[in-house]
A = this chain, B = another copy of it.
Amino acid sequence: MFDRPYAAYQPGERWESRGRTITEADLVLFAAFSGDWYPLHTDREWAARGPFGQRIAHGMLVLSIATGLMVFQPGVVLAFYGMDQVRFVAPTFIGDTLRVSLTVAGVQEKSNGGVVTSAMTVKKQSDQPVAVADIKVLVAK
C-alpha cells in the first residue's frame, strides 16, 4: 500500500492485506514482550468466567500485527505519524485469522512530504471488524 509518493494516493482507494492466524502462542508472546499479563489474555480459568468465556487477544497485539500486515516501502515511508479514533470493537479469539483493509481518506501536505490518512479496519475471517482506526503515515514526495 505505502509504496508510492504521497501525491499518488486517491481518496477512496482501497487495499487489503494477506491474513495471519492469531494463535495461543501469539497471546503468550505478546504478553511476554509487552509485560501485559492481564488474565483476560493469559489465564484460561479466569477468562472462562468472563463475558467471552475464553481468552482474547490484547488490543495492542491486534494493532501491532496490523502494522506488520501492511506494506511500507523503504524510502517511501518516512515515519509512522500517528493514529486517531482507535477503537476495539470486537474480541479476537485464539484461532481467528486477521487481515487489514485500508481506505485512503486524504493527504495533508507537510514540509517534507505528505501525511496519508487511511481508515483502517482489522477484520476476522468472517469479515467482522475487531479494531478500527484512522492511521496516518508520513510519505515522501
A interface residues, Cβ below 8 angstroms from B: 18-21, 23-26, 28-39, 42-46, 55, 58-61, 63-65, 67-70, 72, 74, 77, 79-88, 95, 97, 125
Contact A42 B25 (CB under 8 A): no
State the number of copies, please.
Answer: 6
In the bound assembly, the distance between CA atoms of A69 and B80 in angstroms comes to 22
List, in ascending order, chain B residues with CB within 8 A of A64's CB: 30, 33-34, 36, 60-61, 64
Contact A23 B20 (CB under 8 A): no
Contact A36 B67 (CB under 8 A): yes
List, in ascending order, chain B residues with CB within 8 A of A21's CB: 42-45, 55
Q: Which single residue of chain B is at the shortest CB-CB distance from A47?
A: B21
In the bound assembly, the distance between CA atoms of A97 and B68 in angstroms comes to 21
A122 CB → nearest B CB, Å: 13
List, in ascending order, chain B residues with CB within 8 A of A60's CB: 60, 63-64, 67, 80
Contact A33 B32 (CB under 8 A): yes
Q: Which single residue of chain B is at the shortest CB-CB distance from A42?
A: B20
Contact B86 A45 (CB under 8 A): no
List, in ascending order, chain B residues with CB within 8 A of A72's CB: 36, 38
List, in ascending order, chain B residues with CB within 8 A of A125's CB: 45
List, in ascending order, chain B residues with CB within 8 A of A84's CB: 84-86
